[in-house]
Structures are given as C-alpha cells and as structure tokens.
Amino acid sequence: MNSKKIILSIFFSFFTLFAFAQEFQIGISQGFNTLRTSQQGQNINSTSVNGKKGMGTSLVAEMYLSEHVGFSTGFIFENRSYAIDDGVVFQSEVDNLNPYLIPATHDLFYKTVPILIKFRSKGDKGKFYIEGGSYVSWLQGSSVQDVSYDFGSVLENENLFNDFDMGFSFGTGVDLYIVENIILGFNARLNLGLVDMNAKEWPEDVFKEESLKNNTLQFSASLKYVLGKG
C-alpha cells in the first residue's frame, strides 16, 4: 500500500466517524522536538549520537465521540536532527589503513500523520487529557552539515535514509478555553520509532550498523477552533 492510500484510508476512517461526533475541532500548532537515538555497528569503534532541536508545524483535526473520548489526526511538517560527535572513528573495509573521523549533523525533514485516541477530563475552562496511538512519516528531504569525512560516491546518493517511518505515540496536555469556541492547547508527546532510519543503499563494506531509529520528544502549543458541539 503506497503513501497516498495510507493517508486516504486514515482520513476516510476519521471522517466516517464525523457523523457520530459530539464535538469537532480544527487548528494549527507549532512546536519543537528533540531526537534521541543510538547506533551500533561492526565498523564503529565508538559512537556518540546526540539529538538536536528540530521544529514542527501541524494542521490539527480532533473529534470527540463523547465528553471524554475522542480521536486526533492531522499533518505535521517537521525536521528531526541529530549530531555525531567529533572523534567517532569510522573504520572502512575499503581502506583499513586510514579510518575516518565522522563528525556531522543530519537534518531529516518529514511529513507525519498521527492517529491518536484521547481521553480528557471534565472542565468548563480547561481540560486535561492523555493520548496514545501511532504515526506514519514520509521523508521529504535530508541534509548533512559540518561533514569532515569523505565517503566518495556514498554522499552523492540522495537516499541515505529510509523514506518511511512509523511508530507509537504517547502524550499528555491541556486545552484551555479562551472563549467559548477558541482553545489554546499545550502538548507533550513521545514518539517511539520502529523503522531503521538507514536506507538499504548504504554499501556494507562502507557502513554496516544494527539500527538507528527515530525516538522524539515533542512540545507544542496549538490554537484550535470548535466547529460544533453536540
């Protein structure tokens, strides 16, 4: 199933439930994330991979089937960034006599669609909630900065990273009703990636590692409009 069919299936299922919704919200959100990952491999003598701050902007749609239970989805446009520290030794089987130092910063740009179930509390002015579910992401582009090594033809391959990611999401937050139909929201969410970020195009004699997965902690603020209440 290609990406368009996955997106259409998610939104068709979501809006099919719209007929049963007691409350529907749309809005935008802005936030930042930090990526935490680790890597291991037979050609790596020591590794230190540090997450860096990335930004994310999203279109949000939420639907509540009752006062306390609802669903959330949307489009998130985000970048996830991590840095490999100075001093990481890269031992190439192509040139065993000259290992490389590989400090670098990697920026990955994703389009993400989450699908979450939400449980919220009562409240006239504000409602706390917890959420959980899954997400799918498609890599839109990537860049490598501050590179001090030379992989030759490897860096010419635009598919250094897997173009698809998916995983589980868990979060919590609060919605504050500024006026009757306007909500200011704050959210913290943990995403646990399941897919190896590395593309299969990496030649095994150049770089071989077990896994490198997206694990991100996101913080965001949103502004939402309540279209209707049952």
How far is the C-alpha of 83 from the C-alpha of 104, rounded, in Å? Answer: 6
Please tell me the pTM assigned to this model: 0.75
Q: Per-residue pLDDT tens for 91-109?
A: 444 444 444 445 567 788 8
CB 71 within 8 A of CB 116: yes
Domains of the chain (ranges, CATH numbers): 3-229 (2.40.160.20)
On the CB side of 187, how many CA atoms lie within 13 Å of its CA?
Answer: 32
Q: Per-residue pLDDT tens for 18-63?
A: 667 788 899 999 999 887 765 544 433 334 556 677 889 999 999 8
Q: Are strands 100-101 and 89-90 parallel, antiparallel or unpaired?
A: antiparallel
